[in-house]
Amino acid sequence: MQWTDDGIIIGTRRHGETSLIVELMTRAHGRHLGLVRGGRSRRVQPLLQPGNSVVATWRARLDEHLGNYTLEPTVQRAARLIEGPAALYGIQLLAGLLRLLPERDSHPDLYEATATVVDWLDDPAIAGGLLAQFELRMLDELGFGLDLGQCAATGTTDDLVYVSPRTGRAVSRGAGQGYHDRLLKLPAFLVADDETPHPGAGEIADAFRLTGHFLARHVFEVRGLQMPEARASYLALIARIVPAEAAE
């Protein structure tokens, strides 16, 4: 068995004295692990850091085997990602979310979204919004997508500012009057087409509160899992370093 694919490193762990098991998010083969022999050498290990992009060739005798990777770096981001805690927490959160996916289950759209997020992780003002959008996309890919296209009560597509915590459907400002304290806020950037959003820290917090509610309810709790620890650390850091209001 053999294939070659684009991948982004999301984690590594030691194997024996000299090798590494490398975890990739690949374009066509999903989240996939493989052994890199000699991966702990001084020459190779710096290239095998989370956030770096590679061209991966995987070989195994049988498809169900761990297999061996040959990795050729293409975009090396790790050096700048380790310069600040926001990027480090961000890549840890991203990896924790991707590990919700079954291994070797293809999700090409999530691969593209992952590549976009890691490109901006060292810019928290943009990365915070992208990570919230990524969580929304994860819900959709896992089969728990939210209905944010029209108001659940009136059918209008305008002025959608809330989401029902029970149904996951959008609610307009008018329909939510008198119930706003029971509803989750829907930041506009979550449903906008902006590829590099600039929300303020308050909007980012609202977005993560929204996605976190449904991730906990439909994904983490039913699997007996905890939210990635990096998520709370990331949000606390964003609250301190990103301006409260969205950039104009």
In DSSP notation, the chain reads -EEEEEEEEEEEEEETTTEEEEEEEETTTEEEEEEETTTTSTTTGGGS-TT-EEEEEEE-SSTTS--EEEEEEEE--HHHHTTSHHHHHHHHHHHHHHTTSPTT---HHHHHHHHHHHHHTT-HHHHHHHHHHHHHHHHHHTT---B-SS-TTT---SSEEEE-TTT-BEEEHHHHTTTGGGSEE--GGGSS--SS----HHHHHHHHHHHHHHHIIIIIGGGT-PPPHHHHHHHHHHHHHS-SSPP-
- When pLDDT is averaged across residues 231-243 and rounded to a whole number, the result is 94
152-185 as b/e, with b when 16 or more CB fall inside 10 Å?
beeeeeeebbbbbeeebbbbbeebbeeeeeebbb
To 10 degrees, the CA torsion angle through 157, 162, 165, 168? 20
- When pLDDT is averaged across residues 146-173 and rounded to a whole number, the result is 96
Q: What's at 47, amino acid-wise?
A: L
Express each pLDDT in 63-77 by its tens digit: 999 999 999 999 999
pLDDT at position 193: 80
Express each pLDDT in 195-204 by its tens digit: 788 899 999 9
Express each pLDDT in 81-123 by its tens digit: 988 899 999 999 999 999 999 999 999 999 999 999 999 999 9
pLDDT at position 192: 85
- When pLDDT is averaged across residues 226-244 and rounded to a whole number, the result is 94
The CATH number given to 2-76 is: 2.40.50.140
Using alpha carbons only, give the angle 76, 92, 36 rounded to the nearest 5 degrees. 55
pLDDT category, 246, cuts 50, 70, 90? Answer: low
pLDDT category, 39, cuts 50, 70, 90? Answer: very high
CA distance 219 to 63: 28
Residue 123 burial by Cβ neighbours in a 10 Å radius (0-12, 13-18, 19+): middle
* pTM of the complete model: 0.94
Percent of the chain with pLDDT over 90: 89
Every domain of the chain and the residues it spans? 2-76, 81-148+186-241
Express each pLDDT in 47-61 by its tens digit: 999 999 999 999 999
